[in-house]
Chains A and B, each alone.
Chain A
C-alpha cells in the first residue's frame, strides 16, 4: 500500500506550492488521473503495481517545480480597474460634497460624518474582498433567513420616517445577491426549481412591500429577473429554455398588466412626465428640478427661476447632498460636473459588465451580475429623478451622494464584486450534473432504482 501514500504525498507537494486553495481539488484530480493512466500503461508493459507507480511518479517530474509553475498561472489577480474606479467615485463624491455641504442645513456635520463612513466603507469593502464569496452559494437559505430576519426586526424596532422604514430599506439592496445564491442551488432541479426561485423572489418582494419602498421593489424585480433569465439561458435548470422563460415572464407580464389596468400608475406617470400640472403639490420637486436645470450653464452657476429670486437653490430644493445632489451641482457648477460624474459611473458599470461576462462559473456570473445590476438600477433611478423625471424616488447615487447607510451597503457589494473578479476564475460549479451522477451508488433511471455495487 505504500505506493498509494507516495502518490498522495506527491499530490500534496504540488498543492503545497499553490497558494490559491480553491484550485487545489481540481489540480489534484487532474494530476492523479494522469498518474493512474501512466501507471496502467506501465502495468500493461509487465511491471508490477508498485514499480509501475514509482515509474509513473518518476515520469511526472519534480512536484515542487510543477507546483511552482501552476502557482504562477493560478495566482489571484486583484481587479485594479474596478478598485481604482471605486476610489475615484468616492473621491469625486467627497470633493463635490465638500463644496455643496456648507450650503445645506447641518451640512458640515453631515460631511464629516460621511467622511468617517467613507473610511469605514473602505474597511468593509476590504473585509468582503478577502471573504470567500462562495458562501453565498453554499448557505443560501441561512443567508436569506438571516437577512430577512434582520430586515423585519428593523421594521419592528425602528420608527417609520415619512411612512417608510428607512433602516430596513437599505438591506433590500442585499436581497439580489442572496437570490443569486439560491438560484445557483437549483441546478438540474427542473421546472420545480424555477418555481422555487419564484417563491423565493415572492417572499423577498413581500418583505420589500412591508417597508414599503417602490424603488427598492423595482430594483429587486429587475435584478432578480435578470439573474433568473441568465440562469435559464445557461441551461441551469436542465429544462426547455423557452418554457422556463414563459413560466417566469408570463406571471411578470400578467402582474404588470394588472398594475397598469388598475390605474394606480397612470396619475404617477402623468405627473412624472409633466410635473407642472401640480407645481406646488405632488409635482413640486419635479417642477423645481426642471426649472433649475433649464437655467443651468455648461460651466458655472446657473440662473434661478424668476419666482425664486432672493432665495438660493439649497433653500428651494430638498436634499441637495443626498437625493438631489446631481440637480444641485448641475445648477451650481454647470453640466460639466454632471458629465464627469456620469462618465466615471458609466466606465465603472461597463467595466463591471465586461468582467461579469468573462466569468466561467455560474455562481460567479450570477453573483457579479446581481451586484452590477444593483449598481446600474440605483444609478438610473437616481439620474432620472435628478433630471426631472420622478416616477420613482431616488435611492442613492452609488458612492457619490450623501447617505452613510447606502454607502456602507454599496461598499459591501463592491467588496463582494471584487472578490468574484479576483477568485471567480478558480471556482468550479458543483458537479451535480447527470453525467457525474452516473458514478453514484444509487441511481434512478427510467422508473427503476439501480443499486451499483461496482463503485470504488
Chain B
C-alpha cells in the first residue's frame, strides 16, 4: 500500500481517531490525553484540532453530541463511528507501511546498501 502524501496531517487524524476508539472525548481532553500518552511529544494546537474534528464529522467519521458528564458545563463530545473505525484501520496500515520502509532505509536495507 502506497503511503499518502498528506501523511503528516493524516497521522494527526489517525491519532485522534485512536483516542476516540477507547472512549468519547471533548476537544480539550483529546489534547491532554495525546500529550500525556506521547510523553509531551505531541502538543496539538486547538487551531489544528477543531477544523480537523469538524471535517471528520462532516465526512461521517465521528459524530458529536452535547453532554455534561462530569462538569456543570455542557461540552461537545465526539464519538467515533463505524466508518471512522474503518478509516483508522486504513491509516494504521498506511502508517505501518511507511514506518517499515523508513526503518529499512535507516538500517541500510540490503539492496540500498549495495548501491552505495
List residues of A whose CB falls within 8 A of some B CB.
Answer: 26-27, 29-31, 33-34, 36-38, 41, 59-63, 65-66, 69-70, 72-74, 425, 431, 435-436, 438-439
Contact = CB atoms under 8 A, between A and B. Distances in A.
B58 interface: yes
Given A33-B73, A33-B76, A439-B74, A66 B28 contact: no
Contact of A59 (B45, B51, B75, B76): B45
B16 to A, nearest CB: 15
Contacts of B76: 26, 29-30, 33
A60 B27 contact: no
Contacts of A37: 28
Contacts of A34: 27-28, 46, 50
Interface in B3-62: 26-28, 32, 45-48, 50-51, 54-55, 58
A69 B51 contact: yes
9 contacts: A29-B76, A30-B27, A33-B27, A61-B46, A63-B47, A66-B50, A69-B50, A73-B54, A435-B74
Given A33-B26, A33-B73, A70 B54 contact: yes
A33 B47 contact: no
Interface of B: 26-28, 32, 45-48, 50-51, 54-55, 58, 66-68, 72-76
Contact of B51 (A29, A38, A70, A431): A70
A72 B58 CA distance: 12
A438 to B, nearest CB: 8
Nearest to A61: B47
Nearest to B73: A33
B113 to A, nearest CB: 43
A193 B24 CA distance: 33
A63 B47 CA distance: 7
Nearest to A37: B28
Contact of B54 (A38, A41, A63, A74): A74
B46 A435 contact: no
A61 to B, nearest CB: 3
Given A33-B26, A61-B45, A431-B66, A436 B50 contact: no
Nearest to A438: B68
A66 B51 contact: yes
A431 B67 CA distance: 11
Report the 4 A-B pairs with minimum CB-CB distance, sorted nearest first: A61-B47, A69-B51, A37-B28, A66-B47
B50 A70 contact: yes
Contact of B67 (A31, A60, A62, A435): A435
A26 B57 CA distance: 14
Contacts of A73: 51, 54-55, 58
Nearest to A66: B47
A69 B58 contact: no
Given A59-B45, A73-B58, A31 B68 contact: no
Nearest to A454: B72
Contacts of A66: 46-47, 50-51
Given A66-B50, A436-B74, 15 more contacts: A34-B27, A34-B28, A34-B46, A36-B73, A38-B28, A41-B32, A60-B45, A60-B46, A66-B46, A69-B50, A73-B55, A431-B66, A435-B66, A439-B72, A439-B74
A36 B73 CA distance: 10
B58 A31 contact: no
A65 B46 CA distance: 11
A425 B28 contact: no
Contacts of B67: 435
B46 A31 contact: yes
A59 B46 CA distance: 8
Contacts of A70: 50-51, 54
Contacts of B74: 435-436, 439
A33 B46 contact: no
A198 to B, nearest CB: 30
Contacts of A36: 73
Contact of B47 (A62, A425, A438): A62
B44 to A, nearest CB: 10
A431 B74 CA distance: 11
A70 B72 CA distance: 27
Given A73-B54, A435-B68, A439-B72, A61 B48 contact: yes
